[in-house]
Amino acid sequence: MGIKSEETKNETNHALAKISRRKLLLGGAATAAVALVKSSFGEIQTAIPESLYIPADPTKVQGPPPFDLGTRSPFERPLKKTSDTSSRTPLQDLYGTITPADLHYERHHGGVPTIDPEKYELLIHGMVEKPMIFTLADLKRFPAFSRICFLECSGNFRTGKEEMMPQEIAGLTSQSEWTGVMLSTLFREVGIKSKASWFLAEGSDAAVMTRSIPLQKGLQDGMIVYAQNGEAIRPQQGYPARLFLPGWEGNTSVKWIRRIEVSDQPYMTREETSKYTEGIKGGKIRQFSFDMDARSIITYPAYPVILQQGWVEIRGIAWTGRGKIVKVEVSTDAGKTWNSAKLQGPVMDKAHTYFRYLWNWRGDETEILSRAIDETGYIQPTMKQLMEARGRDMGGYHLNPITAWRIKRDGTVLFRPEGKA
Amino acid sequence: MGIKSEETKNETNHALAKISRRKLLLGGAATAAVALVKSSFGEIQTAIPESLYIPADPTKVQGPPPFDLGTRSPFERPLKKTSDTSSRTPLQDLYGTITPADLHYERHHGGVPTIDPEKYELLIHGMVEKPMIFTLADLKRFPAFSRICFLECSGNFRTGKEEMMPQEIAGLTSQSEWTGVMLSTLFREVGIKSKASWFLAEGSDAAVMTRSIPLQKGLQDGMIVYAQNGEAIRPQQGYPARLFLPGWEGNTSVKWIRRIEVSDQPYMTREETSKYTEGIKGGKIRQFSFDMDARSIITYPAYPVILQQGWVEIRGIAWTGRGKIVKVEVSTDAGKTWNSAKLQGPVMDKAHTYFRYLWNWRGDETEILSRAIDETGYIQPTMKQLMEARGRDMGGYHLNPITAWRIKRDGTVLFRPEGKA
């Protein structure tokens, strides 16, 4: 790994530790040679500076003093898997349910705008008694509300080969504690007219992202959020403010929101006509399919883990846009029998729920699977069931099939790809 | 602020946005001149590169594509306030209850050790049937458990002047979702002997931090945690693994834990004899005062905010090491009358609980205060009550007095200092 591990003699020099720290902080910008390490998606990352000083006995070396901003260990380099339009949360590298803000998935239609919070404005107009413009300070002055919720892109499914990690299959879902103002509060300020039934949400990105949202959803639990996991929302998630619609497909939670126009009908924008619709049986197209259906994925063991024989805690996340997860079932015999996994409490509404199931793997080849059941009674379907229900031209949105991992005798764990790549 | 804000013509050049992003990512390391901005603790931070390109209309400029690792907005620079031995969470800059990992408070006794996770070992020995060494991989193989809890230093109180922020007064508390293995699971592996009643926890920092812990606490809810807010625990919080004792004074949750020795008596280490003890009445010293008592602090409005007249949502956090917060009361008339604040649910055991209270400030000079009440019936005391109960030599640990903010007619908000600085 290119790491120096030295004897402990003459190692109490604090200055030396400080130098190491500085090199470490500079990271990729340092002129020192850096080692390539095998990250979860290939030998690509500049990771541990070769000059990083790792004492054999850390008790013999005074460490650096407290940090203004904490850092990751140089041995930990979680990264999103990134394309031109999206980056995917490394689910297989995570524990618990909170997604660190810098690992939250991204899906943009015109890149990430840079917005001066002092100049930010949200206009609410249309079928309202009193059109109003809210600054960021205005939004923060209203009563605040916080909740822990997942956010998932409706295109969150990839398949096609055995060597796929949870991140690649389902990494377009993440979870944060979101804080902001309830949309109902803002709607009360502007006075919604009685005949209004929809609103348009418009972002200030280069795509001028627009979606039509039923007014009822906005009044029920819609928010304008300005904070994520305790701090200001990140630019990649909509800084300085975004719409947030718990449990609904991600793109309806319009980022960098600048305008809400209240209306009595939907606007039929590009992202709800030519995109973000899906085929159903009989050659028809389903539109305004907002709710994210119940889903789960085993994140451990999963590709590229090499499993050891003996007791294994199967772990994963389950979630549903329709309320709470009430049960996750795990099969370790390729779907013949199913057993209830433990759910980590508190189980929250429209939130990633951590599940665990203890299994003694005796070295036989098998498949492990999980399926989520939500409070509406909905059971996560197989890909076969999905295709039967939706028809052959179901497209790439709202695909939530059971994910199966094949365990080979040598401990190799491989994805069982199904459906169109 | 030194930020260029230009007209939108000729601004659709993606390359330009990319250059801006690169400059931005380099941050302080960039050669470009940087502006000084007024951060929450003075004009000290290198913040926004003068060359940062902020388009007047962000919809006219394609933004940078998704990030491998997200970033903060250049307009947001939360920082901990740091001394040689501690750094304090900027409570006044946060929203909700999760503390971003890089803003978690720090209090070290020998700096932050750098530990290779491949070489990490935890020894459990002493009054056990079978002494064992656990690697990090071993720890992760056991059944996992996650919970959201605060962690607070028992020395979390500062006073002395009016110009103090929440961060300075009470910034040695933070909250994370912690994931690890229950200590009871490891104790079952090694087989605790029947006469055992305490254990020693030893860190691998340069101070070789040691504390004696009643066995019962370890069995009840003690954990060895290796993850924080979804990812590997940070070096500043004990990477690769620390003890975590929910609700107990922070230093008992020994960071970088390398050894647990089971015993039938406490070890009387430095950190439980000459330090981390406190005076009580009659010239006596209280030892092993583990539980953190109920406390709250208003984080908005607080110094250095300048308040505007009209409706204000008073916000803050409340917490207790003895279970759940059941009520937070707010006074806006200097303690004459008290009203219940709203608690943000779900209220969790031994967790920061967000409270809010809507108040119409008419411009009169007053004081605002909050007091926490926990499920044991304990009511957060005033400094006067604390001094009466504990005596004059009560020292600097376990001080949880009600924090009062004085509002002046001009909107200035000042801390009302009490007790010894």
What does CATH list as the number for B295-415? Answer: 2.60.40.650
Q: Specify the pLDDT at position A13.
A: 32
Q: Specify the pLDDT at position A32.
A: 32
- Quote the percentage of chain B above a pLDDT of 70: 87
Topology classification of domain B86-282: Sulfite Oxidase; Chain A, domain 2 (3.90.420)
Q: Specify the pLDDT at position B15.
A: 31
Q: Specify the pLDDT at position A282.
A: 83
CATH for A92-286 (3.90.226.10, 3.40.1350.10, 3.40.50.2000, 3.90.420.10): 3.90.420.10
Q: Specify the pLDDT at position A48.
A: 55
β-strands A4-6, A34-39 pairing: unpaired
DSSP letter at A128 equals: B
β-bridge mates for residue B147, sequence order:
B178
ipTM of the predicted structure? 0.88
Quick check: B165 and B300 in contact, CB under 8 A?
Answer: no
How far CA A333 is from CA of A320, B249, B396, B417, in Å, comes to 25, 46, 59, 65
Task: List pLDDT tens digits, range B307-338.
Answer: 999 999 999 999 999 999 999 999 999 999 99
β-bridge mates for residue A46, sequence order:
A36
* pTM across the whole model: 0.89
Task: List pLDDT tens digits, range B341-350.
Answer: 999 999 999 9
Domains of chain B, by residue range, sit at 4-77, 86-282, 295-415
From chain A, the residues in CB contact with B167 under 8 A are none
Task: Point out the residue among B113, B229, B234 whose CB comes nearest to the CB of A58.
Answer: B113
The residues, any chain, with a CB within 8 Å of residue A275's CB and separated by 6 or more, are: none
Average pLDDT over residues B203-225: 97
**Residue that wins the pLDDT comparison between B405 and B25:** B405
Quick check: B191 and B337 in contact, CB under 8 A?
Answer: no
Query: One fold for both A92-286 and A295-415?
Result: no
Distance from CA of B116 to the nearest CA of A (A): 7
Average pLDDT over residues A246-262: 98
d(CA A341, CA A349) in angstroms, rounded, equals: 18
Which residues 114-173 of A are in CB contact (within 8 Å) with B?
Answer: 114-117, 119, 141-146
Q: Please report, for chain B, how many H helices and E strands are present, in that order.
A: 6, 28
Burial of residue A137 (number of CB atoms within 10 Å: 0-12, 13-18, 19+): exposed
- Quote the percentage of chain A above a pLDDT of 70: 87
Q: How long, in residues, is chain B?
A: 421
The residues, any chain, with a CB within 8 Å of residue A75's CB and separated by 6 or more, are: A48, B116, B117, B240
β-bridge mates for residue B392, sequence order:
none
Q: Specify the pLDDT at position A114.
A: 94
Whether the pLDDT of residue A16 is over 70: the answer is no
Distance from CA of A380 to the nearest CA of B (A): 24
Q: Specify the pLDDT at position B418.
A: 86
How far CA B200 is from CA of A157, B50, B107, B124, B272, in Å, comes to 49, 53, 20, 10, 12
For every residue of A28-75, DSSP letters joined together read GGSSS-EEEEEETTEEEEEEEETT-EEESSGGGSPPP---SS----TT
Question: Which two structure tokens, joined as six digits, stand for A71?
Answer: 């850092």
The residues, any chain, with a CB within 8 Å of residue A184's CB and separated by 6 or more, are: A218, A219, A220, A222
Task: List pLDDT tens digits, range B34-64.
Answer: 333 333 433 333 445 556 778 889 999 899 9
- List the one residue out of A94, A8, A15, A96 whose CA is nearest residue A58: A8
β-bridge mates for residue B380, sequence order:
none
Average pLDDT over residues A119-124: 97
Token pair 């929910």: residue: B246
Whether the pLDDT of residue A148 is over 60: the answer is yes
Average pLDDT over residues B229-252: 98
The residues, any chain, with a CB within 8 Å of residue B382's CB and separated by 6 or more, are: B401, B402
Q: Specify the pLDDT at position A227.
A: 98
Interface contact B117-A346, CB threshold 8 A: no
Whether the pLDDT of residue A383 is over 50: the answer is yes
How far CA B350 is from CA of A156, B149, B247, B319, B325, in Å, comes to 35, 6, 5, 7, 8
Q: Specify the pLDDT at position B41.
A: 37
Worst-scoring range by mean pLDDT, A1-5, B248-252, B373-377?
A1-5
Task: List pLDDT tens digits, range A149-206.
Answer: 999 999 999 999 999 999 999 999 999 999 999 999 999 999 999 999 999 999 999 9
Average pLDDT over residues B85-104: 96
For chain A, the average pLDDT equals: 88
pLDDT band at A49 (very low <50, low <70, confident <90, very high): low
Task: Kindly state whether A86 is in contact with chain B, defined as any CB-CB distance less than 8 angstroms.
Answer: yes
β-bridge mates for residue B4, sequence order:
B53
Task: List pLDDT tens digits, range B382-396.
Answer: 999 999 988 888 888
Average pLDDT over residues A66-77: 93
Question: Which two structure tokens, joined as six digits, stand for A178?
Answer: 């979101």
Q: Which of B75, B352, B359 is the mutation pick for testing A, counting most A CBs within 10 A? A: B75
For chain B, the average pLDDT equals: 88
Task: List pLDDT tens digits, range A342-380.
Answer: 999 999 999 999 999 999 999 999 999 999 999 999 999
β-strands B53-55, B4-6 pairing: parallel
Interface contact B80-A69, CB threshold 8 A: yes
pLDDT band at A44 (very low <50, low <70, confident <90, very high): very low
